[in-house]
Structure 1
């Protein structure tokens, strides 16, 4: 289980996260929704070790993530699909995926994980030799997600997976997220498309200017008038 307690993060004098707490249990899909600038990406970056909290705690299965360097945190079972995808444009699809397995030394295990990713994303297998920079936005999102799965992570952090995609591709990406969840993968999802996020999640948190303002079952939040008016266009 991932657990955050009383987390405070600053950008200089700006108090970006103000004592937030949240949990993600094994097998859950939990969403963190909110407006631009609410602190959603900051939360994920702090969990991943890309930012340092001034106070509070972050633990994964009881292990303190704040004492683990960002470049080795993946070894504890946490993978991050970044906002904007950040694929290696001049490398092939398969080379990108293998980069995701850089901590694994056993080549047989890498090949096994590669086949699992291709089972989730058949289109990536079809384009395994294609340069990542020539893929469509939706395919690059699949690649970034597949790369994060190459280490059999305990939990995957996903940051704005629908950003910049057409409505048809947004539906496709969320169908994939649902499939991954049903396969047993634990997911913490940051997403500005609150309607889609709540539709696929078990639970959700609403983040407003660095503060958790609401939390609960996703269906309950989706029916709440405050959430509907602020985030669902109702």
Structure 2
């Protein structure tokens, strides 16, 4: 059984249908890329999976449990973390305080401290700036903070929404290296990304979303060489 199974998911904004019955699955340990143009429904998909939006119909099953009508904070407790588009760090709080917010569903202080050490090891810059206000960090550092905050919930699957948005090429490479490290350490990853070439280079499988519908799916390596994908998303 898939770790995450989505079937016939339909989501509306008023009378506008944003997701038109999409179905996909994510298996334990995979990196799955969801690629597509602006307005395709990628962010809507992640927000629906994490309980921010409610679907009109369809099913979302995570590790055998139905997530429909499950409150967002309960979904975090179940092991699903979300790194939102635009980072959404708490600008007036310190780096340290932001990271602790990621662990708000956890009770064991010793385990939280272990997670904090692990995040600092993965993101040394965050430890260097732990007392600094998050809003004064660079875009790349804020992205690291958003990822570190999500990891503080000790997720089994992490959903990342446009992690490379607005970053310099050097930071983009660094962020994607970290995503690969997160995957290699055993955390499953569902990656929404406009930089299709980067996403497909680290993914196991991928789905192409166009105007609310999945139009292509397959191994990431195959989609990387697919002529229609190259023309539409890879600039080739």
Would you call these one fold, judging by a TM-score over 0.5? Answer: yes
Matched, 1:218 2:220: yes
- The Cα shift of 1:72 comes to 2.2
* Contact 2:47/2:53, CA 8 A, preserved across alignment: yes
* Contact 2:29/2:188, CA 8 A, preserved across alignment: yes
Moved segments of 4+, more than 4 Å: none
- The Cα shift of 1:71 comes to 2.5
* Contact 2:176/2:198, CA 8 A, preserved across alignment: yes
Match of 2:44 in 1: 42
- In the alignment, the residues of structure 2 paired with residue 184 and residue 105 of structure 1 have an alpha-carbon distance, to the nearest angstrom, of 22
Per the normalisation by structure 1, the TM-score is: 0.98
- In the alignment, the residues of structure 2 paired with residue 126 and residue 74 of structure 1 have an alpha-carbon distance, to the nearest angstrom, of 27
- In the alignment, the residues of structure 1 paired with residue 230 and residue 168 of structure 2 have an alpha-carbon distance, to the nearest angstrom, of 23
- The Cα shift of 1:67 comes to 2.9
Match of 1:33 in 2: 35
Which secondary structure does the structure 1 equivalent of 2:72 belong to?
A: coil
Match of 1:18 in 2: 20
Per the normalisation by structure 2, the TM-score is: 0.98
Cα RMSD between the aligned structures?
A: 0.7
- Which runs of 5 or more residues in structure 1 are unaligned? none
* Contact 2:73/2:105, CA 8 A, preserved across alignment: no
Match of 2:81 in 1: 79
Matched, 1:133 2:135: yes
Match of 1:98 in 2: 100
Match of 1:151 in 2: 153
Match of 2:184 in 1: 182
- In the alignment, the residues of structure 2 paired with residue 77 and residue 48 of structure 1 have an alpha-carbon distance, to the nearest angstrom, of 11
- The Cα shift of 1:100 comes to 0.4
- In the alignment, the residues of structure 2 paired with residue 92 and residue 143 of structure 1 have an alpha-carbon distance, to the nearest angstrom, of 10
Match of 1:168 among 167, 170, 178: 170
- In the alignment, the residues of structure 1 paired with residue 40 and residue 9 of structure 2 have an alpha-carbon distance, to the nearest angstrom, of 14
Matched, 1:53 2:20: no
- The Cα shift of 1:12 comes to 0.8
- In the alignment, the residues of structure 1 paired with residue 145 and residue 61 of structure 2 have an alpha-carbon distance, to the nearest angstrom, of 28
* Contact 2:54/2:69, CA 8 A, preserved across alignment: no
